[in-house]
Amino acid sequence: MVYSTNIDGERVEFGTSGMLYRSNKLMYDRRTNTLWNQFTGVPAAGPLAGSEARLELLPVVTTTWGEWFNAHPDTTVLDVETGLYPGRFYESEWNDRSIYFSYRESPTTMFPVWQTSDELATKNHVIGLNIGHQARAYPLETLRKERVINDELGGLPLVMVTTGHLGSRAYERGERTFLLEEGDAPDSSVITDSEGQTWRVEENALVNLENPSQLLPRIPSHNAYWFGWYSFYPGTDVYRSGE
């Protein structure tokens, strides 16, 4: 997940506390030393705990470098030569030399979690949405299979769009219904609505190709393991094909 670091209009730096809550890291801000829940963006302990302070969740996507670079050739990249750790420490998470490779390959959690559900496998990847106090998990394998899912959550009509390798995004859809056209390539960045209008998949919105000023905003989401999502949203339901 990605958050804005603005708190009360001031940009704040964050660090890793080394502590966990529900098997998820707690971070701290360097202005007040408040501990923040990394998963929810809510202060957990310290001067801001119990306040109305919240971190704004921003949209993000898990994808491949190739897919991202093709869509954003002018992108900038963080340099792995940070001066803190050698560059070899920053191996791809899919590389068996990655620090957490064995954890990702294991079906179990590193630390115990007390609130669990067997509705999905513990470390199934899900895209989680929490809208209007209603939470829903979308299994990644379902998203990749269906590619375009029209849904409604918390009273908000939305569409889940999956393109290429693990690239799943959520958007508002208003009164439109989106279709998966026969012959559409899995990595297509264009989708069609039921009226025949075409929309380009972009990071901030779906853009109407006939009228580029017409936008359907992106909805921030969580890319998480099932156990992590359920730990913080035990009232969640799970999207099932055909429902």
Block residue for tokens 């969640």: 236
pLDDT at 112: 86
pLDDT at 52: 92
Q: Is 125 exposed, middle or buried (0-12, 13-18, 19+ CB in 10 A)?
A: buried
Radius of gyration of the chain (CA): 19
Question: How many whole angstroms separate alpha carbon 135 and alpha carbon 116?
Answer: 16
Q: Which of 230, 201, 205 is nearest to 220 (CA)?
A: 205
pLDDT at 183: 59
What CATH architecture applies to the domain 125-238? 3-layer Sandwich (2.102)
Residues carrying CATH 2.102.10, the chain: 125-238
pLDDT at 212: 94
Block residue for tokens 């080394």: 18
Strand 35-37 versus strand 178-179 pairing type: unpaired
Q: Which pairs count as long-range contacts for 98-101, CB under 8 Å and 24+ apart, including other chains?
A: none
The sign of the dihedral angle between the CA atoms of 24, 29, 34, 40 is: negative
Ranges of the chain with pLDDT below 70: 88, 165-166, 182-187, 242-243
pLDDT at 207: 96
Q: Which pairs count as long-range contacts for 17-24, CB under 8 Å and 24+ apart, including other chains?
A: 20/111, 22/113, 22/114, 22/115, 22/228, 22/231, 22/232, 23/109, 23/110, 23/111, 23/112, 23/113, 23/227, 23/228, 23/231, 24/228, 24/231, 24/232
pLDDT at 187: 63
Asked if 35 and 50 touch (Cβ cutoff 8 Å), the reply is: no
Residues 6+ apart with CB under 8 A from 87: 80, 81
pLDDT at 97: 78
pLDDT at 243: 62
Tokens of 3: 């958050």
Q: Which of 38, 94, 88 is nearest to 65 (CA)?
A: 94
Residues 6+ apart with CB under 8 A from 55: 3, 4, 5, 7, 36, 41, 42
Question: What is the pTM for the complete model shown?
Answer: 0.88
